[in-house]
Amino acid sequence: MWWIVRDFPDERGVLPYGADPATYVAPTRAVGGAVRRAVEGLAFASRRRAFWALAVAFAICGATTNGLIGIHFIPSAHDHGMSATTAAGLLALVGIFDIAGTIASGWLTDKFDPRKLLVGYYTFRGVGLLILPWLLSDEVHPSMVLFVVIYGLDWVATVPPTAALCREIFGERGTIVFGWVFASHQIGAAVAAFGAGVIRDTFGAYTYAWWGGAAMCAIAAALSVVAREHRRRPGKTPEATRTPDAGARS
């Protein structure tokens, strides 16, 4: 890594991918320690509605993947009589299809509005969680396999469009902002993992946890629509941090 990898293309004597050699001007880079830049990035982003829309939606993403399915799918299937080994095999299948889904989502993010993709991803995920209580049984059947395939394709598909929106809305700070958005993903996963366990202990089943996840997915889909750069009134001076292509798809 130390020998080969560099932070910026010009350190390797090349242009960024897709840059026009005739017009490209290297951006002015921020200076200072990583901690200070991270905190400044959070302070900058937290004053914008788009950041909170992305952060809450991504917290729901974490809640409905790592928090719910990742932690509680196997014990929930076991509650319905399925062996833990079989349930673990289904969860592994989710991981396999996750690879294909993430690659496909990256390709789609280059072609379509990432907000529309997020709406579709969260909607499909919510529908899956809504019907999951009726799909679980003591044996594997085609509808359960279909759920596993779709949920796997959707598992990390939200990452490419979320990262693209962070870059589009927050410009050069986009990568730091995405780091904070990703932190919300892990917080959402932790809360959901704990909350679903409380629901199981209280009601003796995971049904309300799955339905709660479906409701959260509806919220995430709505938040994805409003995750856009704030439009300024005519005469307002754009912020220096805005890049020329930021908000082009808004």
Asked whether the whole model's pTM tops 0.95, one would answer no
pLDDT at residue 194 in the model: 97
* Virtual torsion, Cα 155, 160, 165, 170, nearest 10 deg: 120
DSSP readout, 152-188? HHHSSTTHHHHHHHHHHHHGGGHHHHHHHHHHHHHHH
First CA to last CA across the chain, in angstroms? 37
pLDDT at residue 31 in the model: 66
pLDDT at residue 242 in the model: 44
pLDDT at residue 25 in the model: 83
Question: 171, 240 in Cβ contact below 8 A?
Answer: no
pLDDT at residue 119 in the model: 95
Domains of the chain: 54-226 (1.20.1250.20)
- Nearest of 60, 90, 87 to residue 76 by alpha carbon: 87
10 φ/ψ angles, rounded to the nearest 5 degrees:
-65, -20
Q: What are the pLDDT tens digits along the chain (250 aa)?
A: 888 888 888 888 888 888 888 888 877 776 667 888 889 889 999 999 999 999 999 999 999 999 999 999 999 999 999 999 999 999 999 999 999 999 999 999 999 999 999 999 999 999 999 999 999 999 999 999 999 999 999 999 999 999 999 999 998 889 999 999 999 999 999 999 999 999 999 999 999 999 999 999 999 999 998 887 655 544 444 444 444 444 444 3
Question: 55, 219 in Cβ contact below 8 A?
Answer: no
Question: 196, 206 in Cβ contact below 8 A?
Answer: yes
Amino acid symbol at 229: E
pLDDT at residue 24 in the model: 85
Residue with tokens 């196997």: 74
pLDDT at residue 245 in the model: 45
